[in-house]
Every structure is written in structure tokens, then in C-alpha cells.
Amino acid sequence: MKKFNQKKRYKKPVDLTTGKYTTILNVAKIKKKILSEKKINVSIKPSKSSDTVQKDKRNLPDRFFLRFWKPKYSLEQGIVEIIKYYI
């Protein structure tokens, strides 16, 4: 991010991403695993419909931006940190 400010003004909104696609169902499974370790029972009810918004080409990660920013945490580590904060 320090180098990012040296480049021309970025005109698009900046969405932080690892550049790796994951499903909402996968995020739910990660949360369930973490919460079950804390003795909190969570049930997952997957939708029958498919998500077309995330798979839209306009939502692909910007490779230019990924040259200047790398995530500090994996998705699972980030979810763990959020859960720890709220518990």
C-alpha cells in the first residue's frame, strides 16, 4: 500500500481481495468449523440457486492492485480474528 500512493490516482473503488474465488457456502463451512470448536452449534442451509453476481467478469480481482497489496491473513484466519473480537 505504501507504493500504491506513488502511482497515478486510482479511479475505481478499491476492493481488497486475495484474488482467490470462494463460495458463500465455503465461508459458512469455515465459520461453522471455528464456532463448533467453541461449542457453538451452527446449521448451514445452502440455497438451491447459484450465485451469478460473484462470477460476473466485472467482479474479477484487479491484478494491477494486487501488485501493491497482499493480504495479511488468509480468509480462515480473518474469520477467526473477527469471531475472537466479537466473542
- pLDDT tens digits for the chain (87 residues)? 566 565 566 566 666 677 777 888 899 999 999 999 989 999 999 888 776 666 666 666 667 777 777 788 888 999 999 998 998
d(CA 22, CA 18): 10
Residue 13 in domain:
no
Which range marks the domain in which residue 39 is found?
Answer: 4-8+18-86
Residue 79 in domain:
yes
pLDDT on residue 10:
59
Task: List, in order, residues 6 or more apart from 38 with CB less than 8 Å away.
Answer: 83, 87
d(CA 31, CA 16): 20
- Identify the DSSP state of 48: S
pLDDT on residue 53:
64
The model scores a pTM over 0.85: no
Give the end-to-end CA distance of the chain in Å, rounded to a whole number: 30
All cell numbers assigned to 54: 460473484
- Structural domain count, the chain: 1
